[in-house]
Amino acid sequence: MYYLPEQNLHIVLGNLQESYNVYIPEKKNNTLYYTLFSSKHNSYSIDEVRACEPLKAFFFKAREKVAENYKPAASHMNTKPLCIVGAKACDLKGFKVQDYVFLTDEFSDPFYRSMREENLIISADCSTALDTCFCMALGLKPYPEKDYDLNLSMLEKGCLVEIGSEKGETVVKNNKALFQEVTQAHKQQKIKIRDRVQKHVQLNIKNHKIPKESSLKNRIKKNYKGAFWKPEAETCVECGACNTICPTCHCFLLYDQGDAKKMARLRVWDSCMIKDFARVAGGANPRPELWMRLRNRFEKKFDFFPEVLGINACTGCGRCITACPAKIDIRKVLGRLTGNA
Ligand code: SF4
Ligand code: SF4
């Protein structure tokens, strides 16, 4: 572990620009959004909480050309690889699900792979929590424990840096003179901040009566009938925002544009909440009712992924709670599923 003073962190990010397109979270109207780092930046918010947009948007784009004139579209790797700074523990869990979907050998996605393999992930501890954050109910901590190249714990005038991979080690080696020894006082500051944020998230969990991860097992199977799901789906307007904002949702639609001379095949994000999502040729639809689609969303996250990947496909980031115009709140649905609410 090393200590990196604030001004030196700025220099390291500047140096990384030679090899990467460096993205950092920046605050606009009280919300964090990712923006391209420039050495002229004089304020950014690496700690705080997760950004508004899910990090999947960098690797699995909302809309991208995958083929042109009947040939695969040019690879993204004509540009520099990505360095994402300030990814949170919940963002890293999101990558686990996306990587499982897009990098499993049999169906590896060349576009996603090219973006992910070369990237550098510099994660960061949360220094606060939103009232919608509930990561700890789902087995996470509000600070990254693994799956990063470097992790930053922001302190008052600098940060502690932990190395998580060879790529991370190379960054430290290439900037060795900028890193300093860690003192006991630095370590204590880090523990204090981590404790404070954990208490905040625990309070959220208590206030919203969010069930523990262990009590979710088989709950959807036990509550499979419409009697449970119909009232839950009553206000849903089928906008799909809960899917598109979610860091673990990954479904997409392919469509062609153009004519016989010039065509492009495009891939766009899709939503399992929309009626036509599962409709097949001939018009048959396995989930014609809205409540069935809402149940499917929960089933995929809390039954299917624990079975195939050993983790549920929810990070507790709370983005869908904020995005849903119908005020359908995943914490409350989980509470009712487990008899907690
Ligand atoms: S389901 Fe909601 S809380 Fe869970 S990861 Fe997706 S957006 Fe975040
Ligand atoms: S965001 Fe809310 S209203 Fe929109 S599809 Fe999801 S649950 Fe329905």
CB neighbourhood size of 188 (10 A)? 11
Could you tell me how many residues make up the chain? Answer: 341
DSSP state of 302: I
pLDDT tens profile 64-97: 999 988 888 876 556 899 999 999 999 999 999 9
Calculate how far, in angstroms, residue 38's C-alpha sits from the geometric centre of ligand 2: 36
DSSP state of 282: T
Calculate how far, in angstroms, residue 139's C-alpha sits from the geometric centre of ligand 1: 14
Give the Cα separation of 166 and 148 in Å (integer): 10
Calculate how far, in angstroms, residue 97's C-alpha sits from the geometric centre of ligand 1: 12
Which distant-in-sequence residues (6+ apart) come within 8 Å of 283 by Cβ?
none
pLDDT tens profile 132-159: 999 999 999 999 999 999 999 999 999 9
In this prediction, residue 227 has a pLDDT band, given cuts at 50, 70 and 90, of very high
Cβ–ligand 1 contact at 320 (below 6 Å):
yes
Angstrom CA distances, 190 to 161, 184, 286, stand at 11, 10, 50
pLDDT tens profile 300-338: 999 999 999 999 999 999 999 999 999 999 999 999 999
pLDDT of residue 33: 97
DSSP state of 276: G
pLDDT of residue 69: 86
Supply the mean pLDDT for the chain.
94
Give percent above pLDDT 90 in the chain. 87
Mean pLDDT for the stretch of residues 182-187: 97
Stretch among 98-102, 141-145, 198-202, 218-222 having the lowest mean pLDDT: 218-222
Q: Are strands 82-87 and 120-124 parallel, antiparallel or unpaired?
A: parallel
pLDDT tens profile 17-28: 999 999 999 999
Are 85 and 124 within 8 A, CB to CB? yes
- Tokens found for residue 228: 């449970």
* Amino acid letter, 261: K
Are 324 and 142 within 8 A, CB to CB? no
Query: To test the ligand 2 pocket, which listed residue (238, 243, 314) has its Cβ within 8 A of the most ligand atoms?
Result: 238
> Ligand 1 atom 6: the closest Cα is on which residue?
246
> Ligand 2 atom 4: the closest Cα is on which residue?
239
Q: Which of 167, 142, 159, 162 is closest to 151 using CA atoms?
A: 162
> Ligand 1 atom 7: the closest Cα is on which residue?
246
Looking at per-residue confidence, does 161 or 70 come out higher? 161
Cβ–ligand 2 contact at 94 (below 6 Å):
no
Cβ–ligand 2 contact at 241 (below 6 Å):
yes
> Ligand 2 atom 2: the closest Cα is on which residue?
324
pLDDT of residue 77: 55
